[in-house]
Amino acid sequence: MSIILHCIGGGRAVSIDADDLLGWFAVAERDLPWRAGDVTPWQILVSEFMLQQTPVARVLPIWPDWVARWPTPSATAAASQADVLRAWGKLGYPRRAKRLHECAAVIARDFADEVPDDVEVLEQLPGIGSYTARAVAGFAYRQPVPVVDTNVRRVVARAVHGQADAGSPSVKRDHADVEALLALLPDAERAARFSAALMELGAIVCTARAPQCGHCPLRGDCRWLLAGSPPGADRKRPAQRYAGTDRQARGRLLDVLRDNTVAVTRAELDLAWPADAVQRERALSSLLDDGLAERLPDGRFALPGHDRNDSTASR
């Protein structure tokens, strides 16, 4: 007998067969390295930091080396910020690396080197928001909590609400949607798996572009598919360009700092973003403000906490 979840979406009753999703998950779940049995909560937390706004394929080559080098919070905290930023490489959003480093220090100092298992406590740690806190609680500690990322929001929008795309994010609403489903599962273990399966489904089947509805375990229940997969409304989103932005300028400057063991001169930074001096200075200032770079007494620049080198040569 299957577990039918009856819920309300868009004012109408919706029924979802939980066993369809759980059965699919048992077979289709990707064997990503951070899902192996011997991976610790800290190492799972590291993967979640890396996966924030970043595709799995880009994390795959970085994570194993990282956790082998720094397996625990205390080991991570003991590393210099410069080494952490270098190991982060070009994963993107380097402030994540800084926050991960800070997070490691707090866990080592205040939590005896053990990652907390309480969502509320996790949310107070640097770099951990409502998603990551629940991902750790759910994936590392098997708690039946809603783990709502962009994938889950899309799956719920389609299967439950019959909409092509998720609406604007609302932590309260999004959690309530998933909580309503989890509450209907008969035990915590299956609720936790259901939560994880929802996310996996969004990641590999119910994708933003070209969803594989023909292979979807929910194809019999999905309100969006049953309605004929109507297109979503045109979303007016601020153009997300990158070329020529301050973000790109910051990236170029940081790239230079990462690649040089020795502090670099302002002239070397000028070369990294030559066209617009005003923008370059703005980018540099923001990196300094963010603690992602520092200015030495002699006027040169380096990653924070880099190994001081007396050499006067710039490289």
Partner DNA sequence: GATACGTGGTC
Partner DNA sequence: TGACCAAGTAT
Provide CB contacts within 8 A for 25, sequence distance 6+: 193, 196, 197, 200, 201
Among all chains, which residue has been given the structure tokens 């064997």? 31
Q: Does 266 bind DNA (CB under 7 A)?
A: no
Q: Does 168 bind DNA (CB under 7 A)?
A: yes
Q: Does 99 bind DNA (CB under 7 A)?
A: yes
Question: Which of 135, 156, 178, 263 forms a contact with DNA (CB under 7 A)?
Answer: 135
- CA dist 153 and 171 (Å) reads 10
Question: Which of 22, 39, 84, 91 forms a contact with DNA (CB under 7 A)?
Answer: 91
Active site (annotated) includes residue 48: yes
SS (H, E, C) 75-117: HHHHCCHHHHHHHHCCCCCCHHHHHHHHHHHHHHHHCCCCCCC
Largest CA distance in the chain: 75
Among all chains, which residue has been given the structure tokens 């923008």? 279
Angle at 94 between CA 136 and CA 207, to 5 degrees: 55
Helix extents (H) in 183-296 = 188-204, 223-226, 246-259, 266-272, 277-289
Smallest distance from the beta carbon of 296 to DNA, in angstroms?
21
Span of 71-79, 113-121, 183-191, 205-213 interacting with DNA by CB under 7 A: 205-213
Residue 70 vs 131, nearer CB to DNA:
131
Q: Does 143 bind DNA (CB under 7 A)?
A: no
Span of 155-163, 219-227, 234-242, 270-278 interacting with DNA by CB under 7 A: 234-242
**Footprint of DNA on this chain (CB under 7 A)?**
32, 34-35, 47-48, 51-58, 90-95, 99, 126-133, 135, 149-151, 154, 168, 170, 199-200, 202-203, 207-210, 237-242, 245-248, 250-252, 254-255, 286
Which residues are tagged catalytic?
A: 48
